[in-house]
Amino acid sequence: MDLAGFAAVLTPAGQGLLAEAAAADLSEAGLLGTATRLRARHPADLVAAVLTQVRLRVRARDKFGQDAARMYFTPDGLEQATRATVAAHRARRFAAPTAAGEQAGRPVLDLCCGVGGDLIALARAGRRPAGVDNDPLTVAVARANAGALGLAGHATVAEGEATRTDPGPYAAVFADPGRRTARGRVFDPRSYRPPLDALLDIMTRAPGGCVKVAPGIPYEAIPAGAETEWISAGGEVKEAAIWLGALAGDVARRATILPSAPGGQAAPATLVPVPGLGDPPVGPWRRYLYEPDGAAIRAHLVAEVAADLDGSLVDARIAYITSDTLKPTPFATAYEIHEVLPFSVKRLRQALRARRAGTVTIKKRGSAVDVERLRRDLRAAGPERATVVVTRVGTAPVALLCEPIPEPVPPLSECTKSVNNEQGK
């Protein structure tokens, strides 16, 4: 879809066709028939552009919830866009009085604004964002999204180069550089578009700033004095954000857990370093296994999670926590350990058969095991479910048979199963 094609979608004829297409059969089996019927009455280019929008809106529901039905997208723009829950969380930090300070009346500059995910959240937070992007089609899409969501008077979008934009008139700067090329994801921050160093330089000329980066950003690429926040939703680390200047907190790193669905009502949970807390203790397997959230792991806050759970590690290099305490935490997933076995496909198969397990969830950490091959080799068959965790203690491979603890965590008195610890046999 080009700029002219998108402009046609915004015309009255395009909007009517958009509504008609949204009610049609867009499944893989029905798409060709739908396209053929629409082309019999409408220009082929317009039908193609409209069908692209309708299908992108379906894909966008996961990120944007109900807003997706009114928004516009490009394939690359949707891929790069921040999910609504993350953007809203970040916008709250931009709007916080302690962060905005005397700059509260000035707008926020949104560099590389894309289709406007963060622009929308900043506008809803009252920060009057000024979006900048170097792609004319993306600029048109972002403007259309602001209008479609009733925010046209609260946000502006202009075509321009991020590195040539003066941050002086703005209270703060946000940037979401491109992290994809035709070859796939970009992991080196120097290969971001624009490069991370160039964006950080712009931030130094503004009262405060924030750069969205990949969650696997090399730690050495993070500037001194910055706060880095790893953000997770639905058990998956979605992104990281480097906060600078007036927007940076008083900690160097932070893990934040957000509601998984757009519009979720649960409050964010944030974990920060505990002063003076050393490395977590190392000890034997206990009754429960906790799998720390990836945001806590990336933020080097596993020790904080373990301390809160009265837990320890079994191997100092593996981020699995074990404890006799069952406690609800947003920063880890809890399992009750039923058996700990020296890793052996044969022995594990026998244990699963004894439990009549046919549906097996396999998790691993610190192990080179091929999960799909192991699943085939186990040949599990039966009506029950089981969770297998494959890890190691030192150089010894270990398999655990576990059961996920449902949320909310039940009282300890209700948990009566015991651990059969066979490690070392």
Nearest Cα to 46, choosing from 2, 72, 73, 9? Answer: 9
Low-confidence ranges of the chain (pLDDT < 70): 97-104, 260-266, 408-425
Say what the pLDDT of residue 103 is. 53
Say what the pLDDT of residue 251 is. 95
Question: Rounded to a whole number, what is the distance in angstroms from the first to the last CA of the chain?
Answer: 63
- Domain 78-271: what homologous superfamily? Vaccinia Virus protein VP39 (3.40.50.150)
What residues contact 300, with CB distance under 8 A and at least 6 apart?
A: 253, 273
Token pair 């807003």 in the structure block, residue: 67
Longest dimension (CA), the chain: 74
Reported as a single tens digit per residue, the pLDDT across 377-389 is 999 999 999 999 9
> Do the first three CATH levels of 78-271 and 288-421 match, i.e. the same topology?
no
Cβ count near 316 (within 10 Å): 11
Cα torsion 283, 286, 288, 291 to 10°: value is 20
309 token code pair: 């759970």
Say what the pLDDT of residue 184 is. 77
Q: What is the DSSP string of 106-155?
A: SPEEEET-TTSHHHHHHHHTT---EEEES-HHHHHHHHHHHHHTT-GGG-
Question: What element of type H or E holds 201?
Answer: helix 196-203
Say what the pLDDT of residue 262 is. 55
Domain borders along the chain are: 3-70, 78-271, 288-421
What residues contact 297, with CB distance under 8 A and at least 6 apart?
A: 319
The model's pTM: 0.88
Token pair 């965590």 in the structure block, residue: 409
57 token code pair: 């809106």
288-421: in CATH 3.30.2130 = yes
182 token code pair: 């035709």
Say what the pLDDT of residue 199 is. 96
